């Protein structure tokens, strides 16, 4: 039998149902894997005892015939989701020791469906980053290694880097992520797993620590499209506690995966052929086009003319919303407080926030405050919102000619920890293929599609129409089958050697 930690969620559910193993056994295997992989620093908090208690209860529930959609499956939760009774930090010193008294809707949905929580995974501080190098609790290490530089630790991508590393390293069967500008898809690409950012409004934002509220969206990360489909069905759904939650039916995504994609129109946006991306990513993209054709899809050339403005628009809108959202960290109601004798209230606010936030978070708060301030609001913030409409309109026009759009996920393979740090703008370019999808609120899926010359995973991205995750996952399933991505992270090949 395959080692329990190498099963997919779908196969593990069958194994549990057929009594081949129990959730306690499955969970214990993942707890052991977690203990073996401490050097990856994927978790901020590990909850093995809690997980085993949940697993024992889950086994009873299944025996009584009450198994949920994810009954007995051990998952990791990004430390941006508030978890009742378990520390939740957003990887920030500001929230060290914060223990929510409530559960986020999305993690609560997973728990209600029987999922087991292994712990809370690290991220870039407040989800602001693409490399997991801004966490107060240390860098996360990618379980993959560059074959030509095997002694160098690589980033897992970000911001959901701890989740991606945990899933790739077979510590968790799946994990939750959040995606504001690419934070599910880019780390999925860097770690050789799948991840979907659903349509804005599909998953509730309630209880997810806010970064940029008009862009933030939760989604699943797992090793197969089918597993992502199973998790998404559980995570999604209407929530009256989130004012932008969509009151729409959630399809059984996994059930529709087998369908063919004959006649599906796949758009290829010419503006995504940008300078500076490596030839192998371009080759992989071409390969993806061939796979789609082989499956009977029709390839359509499309244009998204405002693509080049998506990143600068994002770096006005996201910081603006962040500066407003992060105003709540004032040292009064929760989190850090820094104060000395004789300090007044303003001193307390300023000292607390100066010490509690890291450099990247402060930089974005200041950019956001600046672009929202009197005299600059129209020139920066309103201008960006107008171009956001043009970007959204580009997609609407494109979807008159096509059903899904195929692009690379990220402009590079995983890079070394410490690289791309010399200038904030260099890091921002990681999201060049992903941000416009958040600005338009569309669903985007990353699928592991191949290896680079350095032996590192590369992902392809599919972008769908609003609310049409089902088509996206079905098309992604064809790429997954064609790519047949079965490579294991160096973390495992080394251990086997």
Partner 1 sequence: MSEIDNNTVLKVARLSRLRTSEAEAAKIAPELNGILTWVEQLGEVNTDNVEPLPSPVDITLHQREDIVNDGDCQEDVLANAYETLEGFYVVPKVVE
Report the site for partner 1 in 83-112 (rule: CB under 8 A): 97-102
Long-range contacts of 235-241 (CB under 8 A, 24+ apart): 235/106, 235/109, 235/110, 235/176, 235/203, 236/109, 236/198, 236/202, 236/203, 237/109, 237/203, 237/204, 238/204, 239/105, 239/204, 239/206, 241/105, 241/204, 241/206
Give the Cα separation of 161 and 78 in Å (integer): 9
Q: What is the CB neighbour count within 10 angstroms for residue 3? A: 9
Q: Which of residues 181-220 bind partner 1 (CB under 8 A)?
A: 199-201, 214-215
CB within 8 A of 129, min separation 6: which ones?
158, 159, 360, 427
Q: Residue 82 CB, nearest distance to partner 1 (Å)?
A: 11
* 65 versus 276: smaller Cβ distance to partner 1: 276
Q: Which of 172, 232, 236, 384 binds partner 1 (CB under 8 A)?
A: 384
**Contact between 373 and partner 1 per CB under 8 A:** yes
> What is the total residue count of the chain?
497
* 42 versus 387: smaller Cβ distance to partner 1: 387
Strand order in the sheet with 404-408: 43-46, 116-121, 74-78, 174-179, 217-222, 194-197, 444-451, 457-463, 404-408, 265-269, 298-302
Q: Residue 254 CB, nearest distance to partner 1 (Å)?
A: 25
Q: Residue 268 CB, nearest distance to partner 1 (Å)?
A: 23
Q: Tokens for 73, please give them.
A: 């499956």
Q: Which of 25, 153, 271, 370 binds partner 1 (CB under 8 A)?
A: 370
**Contact between 415 and partner 1 per CB under 8 A:** no
Q: Residue 43 CB, nearest distance to partner 1 (Å)?
A: 21
Torsion of CA 202, 194, 391, 214, to 10 degrees: 40
Q: Which of residues 438-467 bind partner 1 (CB under 8 A)?
A: 438-442, 466
Q: Residue 353 CB, nearest distance to partner 1 (Å)?
A: 5
Q: What is the CB neighbour count within 10 angstroms for residue 434? A: 31
Give the Cα separation of 63 and 67 in Å (integer): 8
Residue 81 backbone dihedrals phi, psi, to 5 degrees: -90, 125
Task: Answer yes or no: are the C-beta atoms of 124 and 158 closer than 8 Å.
Answer: yes
Judged by DSSP in three states, 128 sits in: coil
* 209 versus 215: smaller Cβ distance to partner 1: 215
Query: By CB under 8 A, how many residues form the interface with partner 1?
Result: 76
Q: Which of residues 110-169 bind partner 1 (CB under 8 A)?
A: none
The residues annotated as belonging to the active site are 78, 159, 183
* 24 versus 215: smaller Cβ distance to partner 1: 215
**Contact between 377 and partner 1 per CB under 8 A:** no
Q: Residue 382 CB, nearest distance to partner 1 (Å)?
A: 5
Give the Cα separation of 469 and 374 in Å (integer): 40
Q: Which of 52, 348, 482, 488 binds partner 1 (CB under 8 A)?
A: 348
* 240 versus 418: smaller Cβ distance to partner 1: 240
Q: Which of 150, 390, 397, 493 binds partner 1 (CB under 8 A)?
A: 390
Q: Which of 38, 149, 386, 396 binds partner 1 (CB under 8 A)?
A: 386
β-partners of residue 340 are none
Q: What is the CB neighbour count within 10 angstroms for residue 30? A: 25
- What is residue 86's DSSP assignment? B
Q: Which of 48, 334, 468, 492 binds partner 1 (CB under 8 A)?
A: 334
* 167 versus 387: smaller Cβ distance to partner 1: 387
Q: Which of 389, 396, 401, 453 binds partner 1 (CB under 8 A)?
A: 389
Q: Residue 255 CB, nearest distance to partner 1 (Å)?
A: 25
Q: Which of residues 259-318 bind partner 1 (CB under 8 A)?
A: 306, 308-309, 312-313, 315-316
Cis peptide upstream of residue 159 (ω within 30 degrees of 0): yes
Q: Which of 256, 278, 287, 385 binds partner 1 (CB under 8 A)?
A: 385
Q: Which of 11, 20, 244, 454 binds partner 1 (CB under 8 A)?
A: 244
* 38 versus 241: smaller Cβ distance to partner 1: 241
**Contact between 324 and partner 1 per CB under 8 A:** no
């Amino acid at each position: 039998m395959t080692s329990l930690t190498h099963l997919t969620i779908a196969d593990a559910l069958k194994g549990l149902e057929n009594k081949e193993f129990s959730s306690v056994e499955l969970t214990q295997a993942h707890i052991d894997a977690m203990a073996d992989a401490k050097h990856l620093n994927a978790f901020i908090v590990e909850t093995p005892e809690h997980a085993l208690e949940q697993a024992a209860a889950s086994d009873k529930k299944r025996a009584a015939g009450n198994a949920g959609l994810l009954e007995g499956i051990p998952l990791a939760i990004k430390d941006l989701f508030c978890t009742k009774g378990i520390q939740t930090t957003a990887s920030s010193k500001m929230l060290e020791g914060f223990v929510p008294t409530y559960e986020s809707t999305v993690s609560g949905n997973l728990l209600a469906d029987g999922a087991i929580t292994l712990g809370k995974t690290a991220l870039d501080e407040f989800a602001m980053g693409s490399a997991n190098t801004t966490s107060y609790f240390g860098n996360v290490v990618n379980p993959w290694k560059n074959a030509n530089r095997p002694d160098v630790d690589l980033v897992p991508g970000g911001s959901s880097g701890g989740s991606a590393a945990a899933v790739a390293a077979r510590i968790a069967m799946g994990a939750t992520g959040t995606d504001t500008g690419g934070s599910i898809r880019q780390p999925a690409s860097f770690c050789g797993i799948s991840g979907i950012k659903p349509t804005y409004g599909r998953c509730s934002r309630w209880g997810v620590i806010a970064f940029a509220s008009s862009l933030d969206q939760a989604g699943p990360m797992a090793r197969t499209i089918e597993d992502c489909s199973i998790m998404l069905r559980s995570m999604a759904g209407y929530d009256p506690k989130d004012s932008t939650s969509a009151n729409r039916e959630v399809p059984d995504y996994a059930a529709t995966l087998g369908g063919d994609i004959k006649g599906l129109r796949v758009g290829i946006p010419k503006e995504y052929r940008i300078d500076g991306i490596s030839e192998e990513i371009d080759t992989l993209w071409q390969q993806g086009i061939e796979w789609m054709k082989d499956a009977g899809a029709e390839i359509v050339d499309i244009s998204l003319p405002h693509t080049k403005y998506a990143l600068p628009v994002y770096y006005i809108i996201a910081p603006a919303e962040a500066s407003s959202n992060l105003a709540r960290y004032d040292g009064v109601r929760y989190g850090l407080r820094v104060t000395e004798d004789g300090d007044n209230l303003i001193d307390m606010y300023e000292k607390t926030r100066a010490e509690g936030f890291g450099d990247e978070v402060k930089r974005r708060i200041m950019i956001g405050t600046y672009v929202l301030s009197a005299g600059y609001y129209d020139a920066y913030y309103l201008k960006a919102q107008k171009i956001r409409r043009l970007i959204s309109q580009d997609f609407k026009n494109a979807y008159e000619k096509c059903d899904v759009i195929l692009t690379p996920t990220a402009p590079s393979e995983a890079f070394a920890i410490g690289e791309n740090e010399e200038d904030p703008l260099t890091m921002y370019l990681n999201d060049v293929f992903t941000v416009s999808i958040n600005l338009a609120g569309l669903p985007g899926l990353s699928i592991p599609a191949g290896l680079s010359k350095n032996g590192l995973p590369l992902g392809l991205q599919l972008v769908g129409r609003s609310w049409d995750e089902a088509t996206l996952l079905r098309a992604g399933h064809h790429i997954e089958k064609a790519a047949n991505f079965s490579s294991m992270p160096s973390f495992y090949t080394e251990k086997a050697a």
